[in-house]
Structure 1
Amino acid sequence: MTKLNPINEPEELLSYKISQSYVDFSEFLRRRTGKRKFVAPAHRFLKFFEECDVQWGKIPSYEIIIHTFDDQFVQRNMPVLGWMVKTHQIRDDDMTEQILISQAAIQEMFVAFGDNPPSILQEYLLFLNKRQEQRKSKPSSVRTVFQPIIGLYYHYGLKDNQTPSQAQIDRYLVKNKGHITAIVSFTHYLNTHHQFSLICKRATKRILDKSTYRVVGDKDRKKFERQFIFLAMLEKPLSDKQKIQWINNGIKYFHRFFIDVKALSDVHIRPCEYYEGLMIVQYGDKLFALPKF
């Protein structure tokens, strides 16, 4: 846990109005200490308040900030903008506010690396941001994919332009199986843009009992298709029983994979990070993409 440094009498450095804003921001960060693994100390962003004090004597609007300061300065101080959104000092369209909050959280994670976050992570973050913008996916999807990579680098103490080895990835996934989608995305990026040959081996301690599943034949598949379409036409939200039927018929129709319905109590469901209309159903070491309920 990174502890917050005490405020070193900001009133001696800042005007009264800006000083009060700095104190409020510091208190905002302090309240979250203990709830997050990484909490950025307020003094890391003192330069932002100093610049605002010199130029305007107050914190200006978001539009003025992004048109006055360069992108690197804005990105580094994104946690301040995230605080401004959450305290309603910035009011913009919902998508812009979501982006600011997501980017603020990401920049705050960089506190784990002091003043020198690994360059490869900064490069990868730019790639994810551009991809999110092109796909018009949820801004939070960037954080979802990026946060496990922060954890990977922090765990192994990787710096600058260092990249994880195959052995490090393998060991990390043994203890962090839920991060495999994010690690797959990152290794694909490294393989494509930096000519690596990394792979992700799915770790599992549980071996599926083959008696619980079999391949679905063509005749049965048509039956499951009709049942799935029937469920899709029902009024939402579905009941818990109907959701089980949705998963049961969906896996059998879309993936031709027969699982005993009793075994569905052992599945895990999470959102798909790449397509908003899909969800990921995990059973043992198998992943199934299905339409959302």
Structure 2
Amino acid sequence: MPAGRKKRCESCYWKGLLKKRIAMDCAGFSVPAMALHFSNFGGWLGENVGTHKAAITLHRYLPFFLEIEKQWQSIPEYAILLKHVGTSGLRKVLLPMKWMQEAGLVVVDAGAKAEDSDQRRVAVTLEKFKTGTAQRAILDGYHDQLLTAKKKGKTTWRSIRLAMTPAAALLLHAAAKEVCPPDQKALDTYLGKTPGQRAAVSGFVVYLRDSHIVNISIAPSSNKDKRAKKKRLENKLLRLLAENDQSKSSRLKLLAVAMAYFHGVAQKDITGKVMESLVAADDGDGSVLKANGQAYWLPGKFQLKPFLTPSNAWTY
């Protein structure tokens, strides 16, 4: 036993301190049920991160529980909590949220979480321009058009985010050249630097043409653009191979880039969910992926073994 501990070992000291701090923080609640929730969370925290760390960090989570008490007097449904603090706010209280899930107090809605994140990122995109500027007026109009489509069920918040991002980028690019709204020259130079945004910015180009009577259009992709895109994919592929990161997420990213480079399959289409529906086979020199009745061959460096688990449909 370390000197100075008298009759208590270090483990007992931190257990006692955690218990004392739980009691002190619980005194700040006016609703007994919330005090009990916080006490249970404190005990759970000690078991999961250790009494030493729990005793030191417990107090930082008190404001979150006090805010819940102030707003609802009890722990609300996940959707209500998400709307109040947002995904960024929930990321700051990962441990309390994990405890709530394990205790059966909330059920996380992944769809609602993703939608909230997309909405907030759209709001950030709008704020790239000050209210009252010509660029903001154009972007607001495009945003309103996308929201109308959303109300009719024709689009999603994710699609709105993906459409707004290049629209704002094009406006910024044109503003740097003191052009508003963007003209054909601004669009061409923008796509020359970011040819991968051709499809994403096409909706905004149509909006400029129809709503602001701008003589603007996207020309068919040239061979030069295709070669430039191929070269970017090649460089990205070589970089990922050099990193040799064996984590599942990195292997999935490598596979997505490889499918785009060798077969022209969009990277966004190669997701974990899609991977689970694929069947892979080794032909000796590489791997053959079979998806939706079509076979794709990849060289041996792109082995699929790291993705295989007993629970999915992958087989060698």
**TM-score, normalised to structure 1's length?**
0.42
Higher-Rg structure is 2
**TM-score, normalised to structure 2's length?**
0.39
